[in-house]
């Protein structure tokens, strides 16, 4: 169902950026962030530093409406989620 909604939204202008990222078993914040960055057209981030990657991600989505789907997530770690969400707090509402 989520995939159908995502595909339906691709033809609309509501979101400036869209990304679908499959997470699976290991909740690796760096790899998830890198996949999101690449999915929204950020290219290949050369840095292996999470802080640098999150700044680049923050700049890419700043003041833009985006739709992000994280598929197959199993992590319930609040600390992991708080780190992952930081760049997305600058996005536009709606």
Sketch the domain layout of the chain as residue ranges: 2-90
Residue 6 has phi, psi (to 5 degrees) of -60, -50
Of residues 16, 1, 12, the one with CA closest to residue 68: 16
Give Cα separations from 46 to 37, 38, 41, 66 (angstroms).
12, 11, 14, 23
pLDDT at 67 over 80: yes
Question: Which tens digits make up the pLDDT trace of 43-57?
Answer: 887 889 999 999 999
Name the pTM for this structure. 0.86
Average pLDDT over all residues of the chain: 90
pLDDT at 15 over 80: yes
Question: Which tens digits make up the pLDDT trace of 70-82?
Answer: 999 998 999 999 9
The SS3 call for residue 16 is coil
């Amino acid at each position: 169902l989520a995939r159908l909604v995502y595909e339906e939204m691709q033809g609309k202008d509501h979101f400036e950026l869209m990304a679908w990222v499959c997470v699976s078993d290991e909740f690796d914040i760096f790899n998830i962030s890198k996949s999101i960055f690449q999915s929204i057209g950020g290219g290949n981030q050369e840095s292996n530093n999470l802080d640098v990657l999150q700044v680049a991600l923050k700049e890419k989505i700043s003041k833009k409406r985006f739709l992000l789907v994280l598929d197959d997530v199993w992590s319930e770690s609040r600390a992991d989620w708080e780190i992952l969400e930081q760049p997305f707090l600058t996005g536009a509402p709606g």
